Amino acid sequence: MIETKDLDIDGVLQAAQKQSIGKAAPTFVSITEQIAWIDPIQFFQAGKGLQENRMFWSSADQSTQFVGIGDAVLLQNQDGSYHQLTNEWEQVLKNSWVDNPYDQYKTGPIAFGGFPFDSDEKVNELWKGFEGSQFRVPTFLLTVENDSAFLTTTVYVKEESNIDELSADLVTKRNQLIHAPEPIFQKNAIVLKHEVDPVQWRELVVKVTDTIEQDDVDKIVLARELQIEFEDICDIGQVLNTLKNTQEHSFVFAWEKDDVCFVGATPERLVKVDNQQLFSTCLAGTSPRGKSLKEDNWYGQQLLNDQKNREEHQFVVDMIKSAVHSCAKYVEIPDQPSLYRLKNLQHLYTPVKAELKKGYTLLDVVEKLHPTPALCGFPRESSLAFIRKFELLERGWYGAPIGWFDQHFNGEFAVAIRSALIDQDKASLFAGCGVVKGSDPEIEYQETNIKFTPMLQALGGSL
Ligand SMILES: C=C(O[C@@H]1C=C(C(=O)O)C=C[C@H]1O)C(=O)O
Ligand SMILES: [Mg+2]
């Protein structure tokens, strides 16, 4: 039996209401309790019954998993402003009542969400609902940290709130979630697959290599879209379960808005900050996995020694190094990349460690880093201008920071690649690759195909 403190939602809400009357402002209430361990996917599936927006996050080593149900707070910034987001979060916390006897990092008030790749991009039909940056504090947040589970319940209490009703409603929903039955999964079956402009895409790669020859640009990342249709409405829980079980060393995420959900399993950490300790990742340069150990090692060695891939990688290292330097006391970064192996492919990988200077927060670093040359190109301005002008799709949240931060701005962001936007019985998958001098359109095309594979398989299909 785990030791749990008696939960007194009603008592906390009453005290918070007194505070809101005193301050003549609503109080943001966050109550954390330890609960019996529950499978995060089970909790996620149970959230479907409440008909509220859900979110999911798993760290790349799966030691931390978050599931959120409901929107207690939604912070939305049309222009993706980091500064505004910081201010709004501080504003929310200003009049708060945080009841967290466990005082655990990763419990209590935490906001989850994402940014657009390019906040100047006009939002099209596909990305409707995902305008600007959006972060939510879920009404119910499950934190599973190895074998321990915590539930944080968040609600606004106003002067006029009916506390009896409010607390009865929260308790009913809480019980529904934490005593959820074993999840039942629907099998997702793909009935239609449509590659968007594959011929034009290869032509665009040639246009990029020509541009690189002629202009002051060295690398441009080009993305592709693959559209699919399911036989029935896609079961997101099933997709997450498969991603979790098949995609090791990857952050698995889902962020639902009404009936649309952005889902993925990305290997790429943008930045993590834990008490001023900063961790970032340079990931660029790709090759397939081999079928045997010998073949796998051969691919790995080829990748480590391949000039084109090393160049693709180095642009990322140089940029991240200098961005992190500008806000850190010291930066630790190996001279040579190593290999980061995933189920379907392997990447060149350089980890970055640093200590953040006082006065800088996680969001400041996200702002400095995004978009890195891993997703945009180098130099940033000219590669971004090319993408804006010529790319054949709207990136929306693809390739952008997705993650979480707590009340002290500790948290973690990943780069939302290996992802799909799922709208009931339809989905768009995204994959891109770094085009540099000498890139071959067919090889780059095949590289994006392997990058589609993990998501496509999790959705019930194959290439
Ligand atoms: C753009 C993507 O991946 C990026 C591009 C890579 C490459 O071109 O080698 C490797 C990892 C990522 O930085 C994607 O998966 O969509
Ligand atoms: Mg590449």
pLDDT in tens, 426-439: 999 999 999 999 99
**pLDDT above 70 (res 97):** yes
Contact of 313 with 282, CB cutoff 8 Å: yes
Ligand 1: which of 306, 344, 417 to mutate, judged by most atoms within 8 Å of the beta carbon? 417
The reply to whether 1 falls in a domain is no
Rounded distance between C-alpha atoms, residue 346 and residue 43, angstroms? 32
**pLDDT above 50 (res 334):** yes
Q: List the catalytic residue out of 268, 311, 367, 394.
A: 268
Cα of 266 vs centre of ligand 1, distance in Å, is 10
Residue nearest to atom 9 of ligand 1 (CA): 285
Rounded distance between C-alpha atoms, residue 223 and residue 394, angstroms? 9
Q: What SS3 class is residue 35?
A: strand
Q: 153 and 62 in one domain?
A: yes
**Across 109-113, average pLDDT:** 98
Q: Which amino acid is at 306?
A: D
Task: Answer whether 316 contacts ligand 1 (Cβ < 6 A).
Answer: no
Q: 291 and 257 in one domain?
A: yes
Q: How many separate domains does the chain show?
A: 2
Rounded distance between C-alpha atoms, residue 204 and residue 441, angstroms? 8
Listed range (8-17, 228-237, 249-258, 317-326) with the worst mean pLDDT: 8-17
* Confidence label for 4 from pLDDT (cuts 50, 70 and 90): very low
Task: Please list the alpha-helical segments (H only) found in 144-292.
Answer: 163-178, 198-214, 236-246
**Across 96-106, average pLDDT:** 88
The reply to whether 4 falls in a domain is no
Query: 314 Cβ partners below 8 Å, 6+ apart?
Result: none
Residue with tokens 């222009």: 79
**Across 347-360, average pLDDT:** 97
Task: Answer whether 177 contacts ligand 1 (Cβ < 6 A).
Answer: no
Query: What angle do the packed helices 198-214 and 441-458 form, to 10 degrees?
Result: 130
pLDDT score for 124 = 85
Contact of 229 with 424, CB cutoff 8 Å: no
- Backbone φ/ψ region at 201: left (φ over 0), alpha (ψ -120 to 50), beta: alpha
Contact of 285 with 312, CB cutoff 8 Å: yes
219 tagged catalytic:
yes
pLDDT in tens, 438-461: 999 999 999 999 999 999 999 998
Residue with tokens 């790669």: 205
* Confidence label for 3 from pLDDT (cuts 50, 70 and 90): very low
Cα of 371 vs centre of ligand 2, distance in Å, is 16
**Across 16-31, average pLDDT:** 94
Q: 59 and 166 in one domain?
A: yes
**271 phi and psi angles, rounded to 5 deg:** -160, 145
- Backbone φ/ψ region at 293: left (φ over 0), alpha (ψ -120 to 50), beta: alpha
Q: 293 and 149 in one domain?
A: no
Joined together, the tokens standing for residue 100 give: 């967290």
Joined together, the tokens standing for residue 304 give: 């480590």
**pLDDT above 80 (res 337):** yes
The reply to whether 287 falls in a domain is yes
pLDDT score for 377 = 98
Task: Answer whether 284 contacts ligand 1 (Cβ < 6 A).
Answer: yes
Joined together, the tokens standing for residue 423 give: 């709208």
The reply to whether 403 falls in a domain is yes
Rounded distance between C-alpha atoms, residue 355 and residue 211, angstroms? 38
Q: 155 and 198 in one domain?
A: no
Of 178, 208, 235, the one marking the end of a domain is: 178
The 3-state DSSP composition of the chain as helix, strand, coil percent (nearest 5) reads: 35, 35, 35
All residues with CB under 5 Å from ion ligand 2:
286, 433-434
Report the DSSP beta bridge partners of residue 257.
260
pTM, entire model? 0.96
**Across 23-28, average pLDDT:** 93
pLDDT score for 2 = 45
Give the max Cα distance, the chain.
70
Q: Return the CA Rg of the chain.
A: 22
One DSSP character per residue, 83-105 reads HHHHHHHHHHHHTEEEE-TT--T
The reply to whether 253 falls in a domain is yes
Q: 141 and 195 in one domain?
A: no
**pLDDT above 70 (res 330):** yes
Cα of 195 vs centre of ligand 1, distance in Å, is 18
On whether 3 is known to bind a ligand per the annotation, the reply is: no
pLDDT score for 6 = 61
Name the nearest CA neighbour of 115 among 393, 320, 382, 414. 414
Rounded distance between C-alpha atoms, residue 108 and residue 410, angstroms? 12
Cα of 88 vs centre of ligand 2, distance in Å, is 38
Contact of 254 with 261, CB cutoff 8 Å: yes
Residue nearest to atom 6 of ligand 1 (CA): 284
Domain with residue 431: its CATH number is 3.60.120.10
The reply to whether 183 falls in a domain is no
ipTM over cut 0.95:
yes
Q: What SS3 class is residue 441?
A: helix
Q: 133 and 232 in one domain?
A: no
Contact of 133 with 114, CB cutoff 8 Å: yes
Of 178, 201, 226, the one marking the end of a domain is: 178
Task: Please list the alpha-helical segments (H only) found in 104-197.
Answer: 163-178
Name the nearest CA neighbour of 442 among 218, 203, 222, 211. 203
- Look up the domain containing 194 and give its range: 190-458
Cα of first residue to Cα of last residue in the chain, in angstroms, is: 47
Q: 385 and 252 in one domain?
A: yes
Tell me the pLDDT of the chain averaged across its residues.
95
121 tagged catalytic:
no
pLDDT in tens, 49-96: 899 999 999 999 999 999 999 999 999 998 878 999 999 999 999 999
Q: 202 and 135 in one domain?
A: no
Name the nearest CA neighbour of 370 among 393, 403, 346, 337. 403
Joined together, the tokens standing for residue 436 give: 């540099």
Under DSSP, the state recorded for 67 is E
Q: 195 and 149 in one domain?
A: no
One DSSP character per residue, 272-317 reads EEETTEEEEEEEEEEEEPPSSHHHHHHHHHHHHH-HHHHHHHHHHH
Query: What angle do the packed helices 40-49 and 163-178 form, to 10 degrees?
Result: 130
The reply to whether 261 falls in a domain is yes
**pLDDT above 50 (res 107):** yes
* Confidence label for 5 from pLDDT (cuts 50, 70 and 90): low
Q: 257 and 403 in one domain?
A: yes
Q: 343 and 323 in one domain?
A: yes
Rounded distance between C-alpha atoms, residue 159 and residue 176, angstroms? 28
**Across 127-149, average pLDDT:** 96
**Across 204-213, average pLDDT:** 97
The reply to whether 185 falls in a domain is no
